[in-house]
């Protein structure tokens, strides 16, 4: 059966310059509906990987991995920037390899605050023959400010980040820094979208994980106040994921 996405909803997301459609299913409570929109071979690879029993606790849940893969497969970004490496990096890299077979090139840069977890993700990528699709770099957290608040976030600025990127960022997955009190303060993800905006392509989708948490909800509210930022859809599966879009001012049509 064809894996064409269901386009029943009113169009409101620009998928590419030729096609307008909603990402129907991302915000669905019915995972089966979403699963059947993703090509079966990619879905089985991701499910096979995420259900192997070694992904627990902090890792992206299998259902969320399917949702993330679905978005990437639909949006076909060229450069993904991820915050918080792990299972999600594997899901993204599996999708990038799938897209490559469809003739589309996609690279992932993943930041991790802990050397141990960055190294573990690199090992898992190599083991799965996915190393060419993703670079994982260890960037320790440091104290900084965002929206007038003091936070702990990745100690890297846009200029340094550009050195690791192969292209401007058109998709960001935000699952870090970890917000456990000893690792990063709650609210530590607040500075991530402003950082992404400084390395973004003319349009960049972003996904914030754990968005059922009240902290993430207030982060989304603050991000919505930024010029060019729109929060588009929310998924309530697992710990919740929210999808947004940033459009650079120069890409906005002149009134
Ligand atoms: C929410 S986790 C990121 C999870 C990742 N996206 C995944 O799907 O596996 C954020 C950060 O927590 C750290 N971390 C991962 N597993 C951990 C664990 N079991 N205990 C403490 N910190 C952990 C890593 O440094 C990671 O970058």
Radius of gyration from C-alpha coordinates of the chain? 17
Q: Are 54 and 224 in contact (CB under 8 A)?
A: no
Instruction: Give 9-39 pLDDT, tens digit per residue.
Output: 323 333 333 333 456 567 665 666 677 788 9
CA of 58 to the centre of ligand 1 (A): 5
Please give the domain boundaries of the chain with CATH numbers for all domains. 13-251 (3.40.50.150)
Q: Ligand 1: which atom is nearest the Cα of residue 111? A: 27
Query: Which contiguous run of DSSP H or E holds residue 145?
Result: strand 141-146
Q: For ligand 1, atom 23, name the residue with the nearest CA.
A: 58
C-alpha to C-alpha distance for 85 and 68, rounded to whole angstroms? 14
Higher pLDDT, 102 or 28: 102
Tell me if 239 sits within 8 A of 61, measured CB to CB: yes
Apex 217 CA angle, 212 and 219, nearest 5 = 135
Closest ligand 1 atom to 121 CA: 9
Q: pLDDT, tens digit, for every residue of 169-211?
A: 999 999 999 966 656 566 899 999 999 999 999 999 999 999 9
Q: 184 CB less than 6 Å from ligand 1?
A: no
DSSP for 69-114 reads HHHHHHH--SEEEEES-SHHHHHHHHHHHHHHHTT---EEEEEES-
Strands 241-247 and 229-235: antiparallel
Cis peptide before 165 (omega within 30 of 0): no
Rounded to whole angstroms, the Cα distance separating 64 from 66 reads: 5
Q: Whose alpha carbon is nearest atom 4 of ligand 1? A: 59
Q: Give residue 85 CA to ligand 1 midpoint distance, Å.
A: 7
The pTM for the full model equals 0.89
């Amino acid at each position: 059966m064809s894996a064409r996405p269901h386009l029943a909803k009113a169009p409101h997301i620009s998928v590419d310059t030729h096609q307008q459609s909603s990402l129907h299913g991302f915000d669905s409570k019915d995972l089966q509906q979403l699963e059947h929109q993703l090509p079966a071979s990619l879905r089985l690879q991701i499910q096979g990987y995420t259900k192997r029993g070694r992904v627990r606790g902090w890792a992206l849940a299998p259902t969320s991995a399917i949702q993330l893969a679905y978005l990437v497969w639909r949006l076909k970004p060229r450069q993904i920037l991820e915050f918080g490496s792990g299972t999600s990096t594997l899901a993204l890299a599996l999708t990038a390899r799938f897209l490559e077979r469809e003739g589309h090139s996609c690279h992932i840069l993943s930041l991790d605050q802990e050397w141990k977890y960055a190294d573990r993700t690199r090992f898992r990528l190599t083991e799965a023959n996915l190393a060419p699709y993703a670079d994982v770099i260890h960037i320790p957290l440091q104290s900084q400010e965002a929206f007038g608040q003091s936070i702990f976030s990745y100690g890297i600025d846009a200029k340094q980040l550009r050195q690791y990127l192969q292209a401007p960022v058109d998709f960001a997955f935000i699952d870090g820094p970890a917000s456990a009190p000893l690792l990063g303060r709650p609210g530590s993800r607040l500075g991530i979208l402003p950082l992404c905006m400084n390395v973004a392509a003319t349009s960049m989708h972003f996904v914030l994980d754990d968005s059922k948490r009240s902290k993430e909800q207030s982060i989304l509210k603050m991000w919505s106040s930024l010029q060019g930022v729109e929060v588009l859809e929310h998924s309530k599966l697992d710990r919740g994921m929210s999808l947004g879009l940033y459009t650079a001012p120069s890409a906005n049509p002149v009134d």
